[in-house]
Structures are given as structure tokens and as C-alpha cells.
């Protein structure tokens, strides 16, 4: 646990990556698995992760990412895209997976399925999209923590144009929306922000015991 806290203290939002250093496939797989195992409401995982390796695509994404160099310099570029619509078919598919994975009758999940549908399908399209994007942030936290434990740098980014990402990556036609971007790799020695002291609220101000 001490190592985990030390890793979080070591982590910072990397502004300049060393473009010559690459994350190994083994470590990339570990980081991606941390997202796959993330918690999500009802276990529905209403998002997908895209690993953008194509240099040409990344060059297209840079201008619509406020010109930030992390997009092209990082070892890998991850895009977390939330589902814009969670419908009855998606929920039924999840219930089928639960039945098969846990080896239980699908009918035994009817009550749980009805409960989920009564909550999720009652949301407006806007509320549903907002809800699924919040789930993506949970995965983001696990991605960043796993990377930090491996001493791999990250930079969570909201500074981009989602509609442009959706167009370039053909996300809209897949019922998805670019919610978050996460370049991962290794910090450049020229990135001065790595030497800044981490600024956080004091425990006294941040944590309230009731």
C-alpha cells in the first residue's frame, strides 16, 4: 500500500513526453486490463477504449486537441468513448453474459434486469449520455493508477474537440462519443513541470469525519 501512495505522489500530468521511449506491450496490456476490470454502474461498462497507434490519425487529432504535443509524442494514445445510448438490447446482452459467466439461469436475472431497465431506460437521451460519460471517468482513474504503479506517465485530457474526434475516429456511427483522452508514455527530461511540488488540500480540509 505504501508503494501505491508513493506512485500517486510520483504521478503528475505529463506535459512533454519522450517520443523515443515506448511502453511495452506487456505493460500496455496491464494498463488496459485495469480499465476492463473497473467498476461501473450495474456492471454495464457503457464505454469503449481505443488505442490510437496510427501516426497519421494522431496527427489529425492534434489540431483538434488544442495543438497539444502529447497527442503525437506519447508512446500510446488512449481515447475513452462513452456510449451515447444504452438500450434494452445492451442490457439484455449484459444479462446473457452474467448468466453464462456465473452459470446461472437467465430467467433468474429477470427481476434484476427489470430493475436496471426501469432506471436506465427512464433517463432522457441527454441524461443517459451524461451518465455513461461519468462511468468513463471511473475507468480513467484506474488507468492512471495502474500506469503510475508501473512508473508510466499519463496526462488526462479534456482539452479537445469531441465532435472532431467523433468524426475522425468514426465514433458517432458506432453510437459512441469521445469523452476523455489519455496519452501514456515516459516523461521528457525537458518537462519542467515534473519538478513542481504536488499541491493538494490538507487532510484536515479535505477529509471530514461525521
**pLDDT tier at 1, thresholds 50, 70, 90:** confident
Which of 37, 22, 132, 25 shows the shortest CA–CA distance to 73? 22
Position 27 scores a pLDDT of 98
Which of 94, 120, 88 shows the shortest CA–CA distance to 109? 94
Position 163 scores a pLDDT of 98
Position 83 scores a pLDDT of 97
Separation between Cα atoms, residue 80 and residue 186, nearest integer Å: 20
Task: Report which DSSP code applies to 150.
Answer: T
Position 50 scores a pLDDT of 98
What average pLDDT does the structure give for the chain? 97
Percent of the chain's residues with pLDDT above 70: 100
Element (H, E) at 136: helix 125-149
Separation between Cα atoms, residue 91 and residue 107, nearest integer Å: 14
pLDDT tens digits for range 48-84: 999 999 999 999 999 999 999 999 999 999 999 999 9
Q: What is the mean pLDDT of residues 144-153?
A: 98
**Three-state SS annotation for 87-103:** CHHHHHHHHHHHHHHHC
β-pair partners for 78: 51, 182
Position 153 scores a pLDDT of 98
**Buried (b) or exposed (e) across 13-50, using 16+ Cβ within 10 A?**
ebbbbbeeeebeeebbebbbebbeebeebbebbbbebb
Report pTM.
0.95
pLDDT tens digits for range 95-142: 999 999 999 999 999 999 999 999 999 999 999 999 999 999 999 999
Separation between Cα atoms, residue 85 and residue 133, nearest integer Å: 11
CB 128 within 8 A of CB 91: no
pLDDT tens digits for range 5-38: 999 999 999 999 999 999 999 999 999 999 999 9
Pairing state of beta strands 176-185 and 153-154?
antiparallel
Task: Report which DSSP code applies to 169.
Answer: T
| pLDDT of 41 over the 90 cut | yes
Position 20 scores a pLDDT of 98
Domains and their CATH numbers in the chain:
13-86+124-191 (3.40.109.10)
CB 15 within 8 A of CB 73: no
Separation between Cα atoms, residue 179 and residue 161, nearest integer Å: 10
Amino acid at each position: 500500500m505504501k508503494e501505491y501512495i508513493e506512485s500517486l505522489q510520483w504521478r503528475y500530468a505529463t506535459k512533454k513526453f519522450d517520443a523515443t521511449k515506448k511502453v511495452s506491450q506487456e505493460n500496455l496490456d496491464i494498463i488496459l486490463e485495469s480499465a476492463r476490470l473497473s467498476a461501473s454502474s450495474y456492471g454495464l461498462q457503457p464505454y469503449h477504449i481505443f488505442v490510437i497507434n496510427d501516426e497519421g490519425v494522431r496527427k489529425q487529432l492534434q489540431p483538434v486537441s488544442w495543438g497539444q504535443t502529447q497527442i503525437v509524442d506519447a508512446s500510446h494514445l488512449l481515447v475513452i468513448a462513452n456510449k451515447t445510448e444504452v438500450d434494452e438490447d445492451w442490457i439484455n446482452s449484459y444479462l446473457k453474459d452474467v448468466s453464462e459467466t456465473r452459470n446461472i439461469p437467465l430467467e433468474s436475472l429477470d427481476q434484476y434486469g427489470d430493475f436496471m431497465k426501469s432506471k436506465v431506460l427512464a433517463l432522457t437521451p441527454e441524461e443517459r449520455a451524461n451518465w455513461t460519460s461519468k462511468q468513463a471517468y471511473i475507468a480513467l482513474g484506474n488507468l492512471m493508477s495502474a500506469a503510475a504503479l508501473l512508473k508510466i506517465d499519463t496526462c488526462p485530457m479534456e482539452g479537445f474537440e469531441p465532435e472532431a474526434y467523433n468524426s475522425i475516429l468514426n465514433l458517432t456511427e458506432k453510437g459512441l462519443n469521445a469523452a476523455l483522452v489519455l496519452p501514456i508514455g515516459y516523461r521528457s527530461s525537458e518537462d519542467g513541470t515534473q519538478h513542481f511540488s504536488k499541491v493538494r488540500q490538507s487532510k484536515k480540509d479535505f477529509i471530514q469525519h461525521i
